[in-house]
Amino acid sequence: MRPFLLPKVRNHLHPKSATISTQSRPLRLHPCLRRPLLSSAATTPPPVLSTVFSLMASCGDREYLDVVAFMKLALEQAKIAFDSLEVPVGCVIVMDGKVISCGRNRTNETRNATRHAEMEAIDVLLDQWKKLKLSKAEVSEMFSKCYLYVTCEPCIMCAGALSFLGIKEVYYGCANDKFGGCGSILSLHTMSCEEAGGKSYKCTGGIMAEEAVSLFRNFYELGNPNAPKPHRQPVQQP
């Protein structure tokens, strides 16, 4: 297992979430993990870090526990993906304190690599709202009240989609060092074109990141059974 995700995760950890999830064993830091401090990640500001602290400042313990509770539901979705031999990412969408949609990665099943958890959950909502005959303006209004909880930082595609929809806020688990669109590679949550009607959304990472990473770790340690052979040999199950 390559602990590439760990440092960012650690950087972004909310002090409270650290007590919840990650103190059981020390995080091993590979030396090259220091790079995020130096490379482009340092110049593109730690949006996550700052928002973590603003989260800390802006909400009380109970709200933070709510965030954790919703992330646990997202992790359950990720586990469903895992059990379906999909890359384990899951999410829930919350409005007015209630979960109104959920989704998990479905890329292998559909052979469509864009069917990420976020896209699945968004489509569930659009279907619901269209059945209710909501107008586009009403749907747009609804999205602006939605909170997304996703186990891994949205990729560039999903981060763009969330910006187009005008989502209110995103909480994620671990950072996505290779594809992340909410601070890691691009910052689409803050870079929308305002003249064209784009709004930015608040994004907070590091929520139960260790759990999200450990799901990935389990998935890839088993060897992705769907990977082109012999990507990494699956461990033979007894």
Partner 1 sequence: MNNCEDQESWEIVHIPDKPPFPPHQQPTVNVYAAVIDPKHANTLIRKLNQILPLENLRHVKRVRKQHLDEGSTQLSVILCLAGENNSQVDIIPQEVVGLIDSHQLDTFITKVCRYAPLSKEEWVEQCKLWPTSFHPPTYNISGITGFSQEESQLVCKFMKLALDLAKSKWQMVNAAVIVDPSTNEVIARTCDQVYSCSCPINHEVTKNHDNMLLNSSATEEPKLSFDGVSCLNPWGWSNQKSCDSWHPLRHAAIVAIEDSAARDRNLFPGGQHDLAEIDHVEPALTSPSPKKQKTISMDVNDLEELNSHTNGCHPELSRPYLCTGYDIYLVWEPCAMCAMALVHQRIKRIFYAYPNPTAGALGSVHRLQGEKSLNHHYAVFKVLLPRESLNRGIMSLVSKGDHAKKPSNMPHGVSL
Q: What part of residues 19-78 is at the interface with partner 1 (CB under 8 A)?
A: 31-32, 34-35, 37-40, 42-43
At residue 190, φ and ψ (nearest 5 deg) are -115, -5
- Catalytic residue, chosen from 118, 120, 210, 211, is 118
Of the pair 57, 193, the CB lying nearest partner 1 is at 193
Q: By rule CB under 8 A, what count of residues binds partner 1?
A: 72
Is 79 a binder of partner 1 (CB under 8 A)?
no
Cα separation of 220 and 2, whole Å? 10
Q: Please pick, from the candidates 58, 110, 128, 218, the single residue that binds partner 1 as defined by CB under 8 A.
A: 110
The least CB distance from residue 172 to partner 1, in Å, is 11
Q: Which helix (H) or strand (E) element contains residue 104?
A: strand 98-104
* Strand 169-174, strand 202-204: pairing: parallel
Of the pair 18, 157, the CB lying nearest partner 1 is at 157
Restricted to residues 209-238, the positions that interact with partner 1 (CB under 8 A) are: 216-217, 220, 224, 226-232
Q: x/- contact string, 158-197, with partner 1 (CB under 8 A)?
A: xxxx-xxxx-------x-xxxx-x---xx-x---xx-xxx
Active site (annotated) includes residue 76: no
Write out the DSSP string of 131-187: HTT--HHHHHHHHTTEEEEEEE--BHHHHHHHHHHT-SEEEEEE--TTTBTBTTS-B
Question: Which position has the token pair 């909410």?
Answer: 182
Of the pair 25, 111, the CB lying nearest partner 1 is at 111
DSSP-derived letter for residue 97 is T
- Which positions are catalytic? 118
